[in-house]
Amino acid sequence: MKSFTYERANTAAEAVAAVAAMPGAKFIAGGTNLLDLMKLGIEAPVHLVDINRLGLDAIEPTEAGGLRIGAMVRNTDLAADARVRRDYAVLSRALLAGASGQLRNKATTGGNLLQRTRCAYFYNTDMPCNKRSPGSGCAAVGGLSHNHAVMGVSDACIATHPSDMAVALRALDATVEVISAKGSMRMIPIADFHRLPGDTPHLETNLQANEMVTAVILPRPVGGTHIYRKVRERASYAFANIAVAMIVREGKAARLALGGVAHKPWRVEAAEDAPAEGIADIVLAGARPTADNAYKLDLTRRTIAACLGDAS
Amino acid sequence: MPGTEDAGLPEAPGAVPLSLCVNGKPWVLQIDPRTSLLDALREHLHLTGTKKGCDHGQCGACTVLVNGRRINSCLSLAVMHEGDEISTIEGLGSPEALHPMQQAFIDHDGFQCGYCTPGQILSALAVIEEIKAGIPSHVTADLNAPPPLSASEIRERMSGNLCRCAAYPNIIAAIQDVSGIPS
Ligand SMILES: Cc1cc2nc3c(=O)[nH]c(=O)nc-3n(C[C@H](O)[C@H](O)[C@H](O)COP(=O)(O)OP(=O)(O)OC[C@H]3O[C@@H](n4cnc5c(N)ncnc54)[C@H](O)[C@@H]3O)c2cc1C
Ligand code: SF4
Ligand code: FES
Ligand code: FES
């Protein structure tokens, strides 16, 4: 691992100022993704600002009747929160379907949103990858792509976003609260938080340089039956091949977001409340699968149908 | 601090000071910020009971408790643990007086090579506490009720601990025994 200097920040303002003060600095939260990538030389920050002791670890009610989840709330604690289990069950279910107990104890709300792709070529520094080294090419196009994206892909990158939590947040219309180095706050709707790869797959979110996530805000509960169905190659402890987050009301998919199919959680609002037979055609319109991952289209259709079945 | 031990390694360039409490014993050390908590335990404090399998958060061999919660010590920097209380397998029991979970792993033949075992045992102890604390899991049917202390809950919650010798059925039997679940 490349050497770096380390500092522990005490407030959010101090943390953003510290990262802004040193080019090549990064925040470290749980470290479960960043350290993995640093060990492989894929990330090489020169300075780490530890944000574990900022106190952004509360889940509080908002005036609008929703919840404000601090960026440092651990995945275990978010999934176990009684209000989340009761009113936002799709979020608990998505979190519990991800990683392991040990990792969820460490992984944070902010870090989970910002975790990087699991594309094997991104991890293999001997292979070309536009996300890891812009302009080098994409080894997955024409390579092994059975777990790559089918929606919103570009010629530059066909990677997926691996987060389960983000898929549930998309279905719930969450908002991401961020603070800039100057101390100003802004709100980013989850729909606009992650980007499609386009020509710039190395840019994964619309977070600006040195901005830090301080919280994720959930709007007031929408009721309904909450379902998160993750299809993977083992019964537990594996990333999704595809995942469906659905909120069913009156027999219809009132909210629907997909994981494992795109560079961001995939939601097409026009599919919601559509007749059951038509939903998949609308969400999957424009799909561009490879020969290896065309199975994801059928799997998604069937999983959407299974979710509707679960709720009836 | 009285009774605090200095790990006594020569000071490396860029090393930073760190105090940790491991199995009730306070330590102060000078450590390169790159050092994982796992390497700090093994290489600096010579507590080699905690094992390194993958070093990437995938196998659970490095599981320790930090302030009572289980984590993978390979994916955490030692410097992030200033002032934390760490529990490792060395703190659980001694050969003369084994912890009940250690005894149960022996009684049920819960290992072959034993490499994954320290991580399995630490994880198992945390799993029982997590269920008692009402933390749900992927297999919990009703999110609004306390999760049952059952074999299927234990199996799901232990999925972050791999065993290359595949002693899984006996590991589950050992944990069930300690939890009082009939097998
Ligand atoms: C073996 C394994 C299996 C896994 N399985 C799954 C799975 O099935 N599903 C799933 O969803 N995930 C899975 N994960 C990924 C895991 O969820 C992420 O590693 C974790 O959520 C990252 O959170 P963290 O706090 O540890 O982030 P860190 O590693 O600390 O940070 C990740 C990135 O986010 C940045 N960052 C962190 N916090 C902030 C902030 N507040 N503001 C701005 N930037 C920030 C960091 O600079 C870094 O770039 C798995 C991981 C492993 C190792
Ligand atoms: S799919 Fe994206 S992440 Fe994977 S090799 Fe291609 S550019 Fe890199
Ligand atoms: S060594 Fe830490 S999980 Fe494998
Ligand atoms: S006993 Fe050998 S790896 Fe588990």
A25 touches chain B (CB under 8 A): no
pLDDT at residue B10 greater than cutoff 60: no
| Contact predicate A164/A95, CB 8 Å | yes
Task: In whole angstroms, give the CA distance from residue A199 to residue A61.
Answer: 40
Our answer on whether the CB atom of A122 is closer than 6 Å to any ligand 2 atom is yes
Q: Specify the residue for token string 């990064």.
A: A26
Whether residue A93 and residue B143 make contact (CB cut-off 8 A), yes or no, is yes
Q: Looking at beta carbons, which residues of chain A come within 8 Å of B132?
A: none
For range B87-91, the mean pLDDT: 98
Whether residue A35 and residue B77 make contact (CB cut-off 8 A), yes or no, is yes
Task: In whole angstroms, give the CA distance from residue B89 to residue B160.
Answer: 17
Task: In whole angstroms, give the CA distance from residue A9 to residue A22.
Answer: 14
Task: In whole angstroms, give the CA distance from residue A300 to residue A261.
Answer: 9
- Residue among B56, B138, B160 minimizing CB distance to A102: B160
Residue closest by Cα to atom 7 of ligand 1: A98
| Contact predicate B122/B63, CB 8 Å | yes
Instruction: Please give, rounded to a whole number of angstroms, the shortest distance from the CA of B71 to a CA of chain A.
Output: 4
HSE of B55, CA atoms in CB hemisphere, 13 A: 9
* Domains within chain A, CATH numbers bracketed: 5-52 (3.30.43.10), 59-114+160-311 (3.30.390.50)
Give the pairing type, strands A25-28 and A5-8. Answer: unpaired
User: First-to-last CA distance in chain B?
Assistant: 48
For range B146-161, the mean pLDDT: 97
- Predicted confidence at residue B12, as pLDDT, reads 65
Buried/exposed A273-293: b ≥16 CB within 10 Å, e otherwise: ebeeeebbeebbeebebbeeb
For range B36-58, the mean pLDDT: 98
Task: In whole angstroms, give the CA distance from residue A48 to residue B53.
Answer: 26
For range B55-69, the mean pLDDT: 98
User: First-to-last CA distance in chain A?
Assistant: 52
Task: Find, among B47, B64, B41, the residue nearest to B120 by Cα.
Answer: B64
Instruction: Suggest the residue from A102, A115, A228, A310 to mutate for an interface test with chain B (most B CBs closer than 10 A).
Output: A102
pLDDT at residue B7 greater than cutoff 80: no
| Contact predicate A103/B57, CB 8 Å | yes
Q: Specify the residue for token string 């009939």.
A: B182
| Contact predicate B74/B62, CB 8 Å | yes
Whether residue B160 and residue A28 make contact (CB cut-off 8 A), yes or no, is no
Whether residue B72 and residue A76 make contact (CB cut-off 8 A), yes or no, is no
**Residue A312 — pLDDT band, cuts 50, 70, 90?**
confident
Task: In whole angstroms, give the CA distance from residue A54 to residue A49.
Answer: 11
pLDDT at residue B123 greater than cutoff 90: yes
Ligand nearest to the CA of A54: 1
| Contact predicate A218/A69, CB 8 Å | yes
Task: In whole angstroms, give the CA distance from residue A199 to residue A219.
Answer: 33
Tell me the whole-structure pTM to 2 decimals. 0.97
Question: What pLDDT digit, counting tens, does each position of A217-265 carry?
Answer: 999 999 999 999 999 999 899 999 999 999 999 999 999 999 999 999 9
Instruction: Suggest the residue from B18, B37, B74, B75 to mutate for an interface test with chain A (most A CBs closer than 10 A).
Output: B75
Question: What pLDDT digit, counting tens, does each position of A187-206 carry?
Answer: 999 999 999 999 999 999 99
Task: Find, among A171, A200, A184, the residue nearest to A272 by Cα.
Answer: A171
pLDDT at residue A273 greater than cutoff 90: no
- The DSSP line for A221-266 is ---SEEEEEEE-SSSSSS--SEEEEEEEETTEEEEEEEESSSSS-B
Amino acid residing at B126: A
**Residue B1 — pLDDT band, cuts 50, 70, 90?**
very low
The alpha carbon of residue A88 and the mean position of all alpha carbons in its chain are separated, in whole angstroms, by 17
- Residue among A5, A79, A101 minimizing CB distance to B127: A101
- Predicted confidence at residue B14, as pLDDT, reads 83
Whether residue A80 and residue B72 make contact (CB cut-off 8 A), yes or no, is no
Q: Looking at beta carbons, which residues of chain A come within 8 Å of B138?
A: 93, 96-97, 236
pLDDT at residue B4 greater than cutoff 80: no
The alpha carbon of residue A60 and the mean position of all alpha carbons in its chain are separated, in whole angstroms, by 22
Question: What pLDDT digit, counting tens, does each position of A148-158 carry?
Answer: 999 999 999 99
Our answer on whether the CB atom of A140 is closer than 6 Å to any ligand 2 atom is yes
* Domains within chain B, CATH numbers bracketed: 16-92 (3.10.20.30), 100-179 (1.10.150.120)
| Contact predicate A266/A286, CB 8 Å | no
For range A268-281, the mean pLDDT: 95
Task: Find, among B111, B154, B113, B115, the residue nearest to B132 by Cα.
Answer: B154
ipTM of the complex: 0.96
Whether residue B136 and residue A50 make contact (CB cut-off 8 A), yes or no, is no
**Cβ–Cβ contacts within 10 Å for residue A199, how many?**
12
Ligand 2 centroid to residue A247 C-alpha, Å:
32
What residue ranges in B32-177 does DSSP mark as E strands? 63-66, 69-72, 85-87
For range B4-18, the mean pLDDT: 72
| Contact predicate A231/A303, CB 8 Å | yes
Task: In whole angstroms, give the CA distance from residue B166 to residue B112.
Answer: 8
Question: What pLDDT digit, counting tens, does each position of A109-128 carry?
Answer: 999 999 999 999 999 999 99
